[in-house]
A = this chain, B = another copy of it.
Amino acid sequence: MQQAIFYHAGCPVCVTAEQQFAQALDPARYAVEVVHLGQDARRVAEAEGFGVQSVPALVIDGQAFHINFGAPLSALK
């Protein structure tokens, strides 16, 4: 089982991406954790460590994928 982390900030772009993307991953292979950086700002540094620059973003196996564009990470600090 691979770990996948979906970082978002509650923005409309984020919600759409979560519903149609994060939840589309194969549950047999991926354990998806959803992190709201607006509510848990302490994890912004963790996201940055994976190379996340904006939300929404999905980190799979340590690699960051930016999905469309909702907000820059700098707006969440």
- A residues touching B (Cβ–Cβ < 8 Å)? 4, 16-17, 20-21, 24-30, 58, 60-61, 63, 65-68
C-alpha spacing A9/B4, complex, angstroms = 25
Query: Which chain B residues lie closer than 8 Å to A30 at the CB level?
Result: 24
Kindly report which residue of chain B lies nearest to residue A25, judged by CB atoms. B24
- A21: B residues at CB distance < 8 A: 58, 60, 65
Q: Report B-chain residues with C-beta under 8 Å of the C-beta of A24.
A: 4, 25-26, 29-30, 60
**Which residues of B sit under 8 angstroms from A27, Cβ to Cβ?**
26
Residues on B with C-beta less than 8 A from A68 are 65-66
Bound CA span A58–B24, Å = 12
